[in-house]
C-alpha cells in the first residue's frame, strides 16, 4: 500500500482529493493536514510514501515545508499542487526536492498517473506546466520575469500583496509581525525597482507568475 499524506489549507480541496484516493486500490490516505508546519510533524509521525503538497498555505507554505521534509526525510516523495501553471513555482519546488508538480485543475486520471510515476522514483510534471518549462528551458526567469530574483518568503509576501491582502492579514497568515511584512515589502520593491502595490500587480499580470493559489 502506498501511504499518502494530503496537505492543503482548503477543506473542500483536501477532502475532495481524499475521497478520490480512498477508492483507489493500493493507496492509503494516512492523514490530511492544513499547513506546512503540520505537514512536517505528520511526515515524521506517519512516514508517508507520498505527500500531496499545496503550494500556497499559511506559515512556511508548501515550498518551505517541502525543503524541510526533504532535508530530514529525503525518501518521502512530494507532489506539489497549485492553481498556477507558470514557470516560477514549479522550478522552485523541483529545486526544493519535489518529485512532481500538478495544477489543481488536473483531472483524477492525471493525479493517479502522477502518484504512480512518482512512486517509482521518477518525476511527473503537469502537461501544461511541462510545456511552459520546456519553452523556457527550465530557467526560473527564463520567461524574463524579474520576480525570479525574489526569495521564497518574499515571493509569498508578493503573492498576498497581489491578492490584495493588507499588511496585518499577511502578518497573521505567515505568523510574523506587521513590521516584518513591511520589511519584506521594502525588499520586494527594491529588488523589482517598483514603488507601489499597483506596480507589483501590473508586473505579476504581465509575467503571469502570481495569482490566487
List pLDDT tens digits, range 151-191.
888 888 888 888 888 899 899 888 889 999 999 999 999 99
- Asked if residue 139 has pLDDT above 50, the reply is no
Query: Buried b vs exposed e over 119-137: b needs ≥16 C-beta within 10 Å?
Result: beeeebbbeebeebbeebe
Sheet holding 50-54, edge to edge: 27-33, 2-7, 50-54, 77-82, 100-103, 124-125
* Res 175: pLDDT: 87
Alpha carbons 213 and 199: distance in angstroms, whole number: 20
Position 134 pLDDT exceeds 60: no
Question: For 74-78, which contacts have Cβ atoms below 8 Å and span 24 or more sequence positions?
Answer: 76/43, 76/47, 76/48, 76/49, 76/50, 76/51, 77/49, 77/50, 77/51, 77/118, 77/119, 77/121, 78/50, 78/51, 78/53
pTM of the model: 0.71
Distance from C-alpha of 141 to C-alpha of 184, rounded to nearest angstrom = 20
The listed range with the strongest mean pLDDT (48-52, 90-94, 166-170) is: 48-52
Amino acid at each position: 500500500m502506498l501511504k499518502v499524506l494530503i496537505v492543503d489549507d482548503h477543506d473542500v480541496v483536501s477532502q475532495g482529493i481524499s475521497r478520490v484516493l480512498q477508492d483507489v486500490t493500493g493507496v492509503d490516505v494516512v492523514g490530511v493536514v492544513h499547513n506546512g508546519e503540520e505537514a512536517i510533524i505528520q511526515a515524521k509521525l506517519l512516514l508517508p510514501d507520498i505527500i500531496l503538497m499545496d503550494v500556497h498555505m499559511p506559515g512556511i507554505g508548501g515550498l518551505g515545508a517541502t525543503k524541510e521534509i526533504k532535508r530530514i526525510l529525503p525518501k518521502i516523495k512530494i507532489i506539489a499542487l497549485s492553481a498556477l501553471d507558470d514557470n516560477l513555482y514549479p522550478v522552485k519546488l523541483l529545486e526544493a526536492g519535489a518529485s512532481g508538480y500538478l495544477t489543481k485543475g488536473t483531472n483524477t486520471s492525471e493525479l493517479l498517473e502522477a502518484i504512480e510515476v512518482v512512486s517509482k522514483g521518477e518525476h511527473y510534471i503537469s502537461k501544461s506546466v511541462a510545456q511552459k518549462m520546456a519553452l523556457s528551458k527550465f530557467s526560473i526567469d527564463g520567461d524574463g520575469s524579474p520576480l525570479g530574483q525574489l526569495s521564497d518568503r518574499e515571493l509569498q509576501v508578493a503573492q498576498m500583496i497581489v491578492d490584495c491582502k493588507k499588511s496585518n492579514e499577511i502578518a497573521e497568515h505567515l505568523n510574523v509581525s506587521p513590521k516584518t511584512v513591511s520589511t519584506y515589502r521594502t525588499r520586494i520593491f527594491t529588488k523589482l525597482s517598483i514603488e507601489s502595490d499597483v506596480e507589483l500587480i501590473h508586473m505579476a499580470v504581465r509575467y503571469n507568475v502570481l495569482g490566487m493559489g
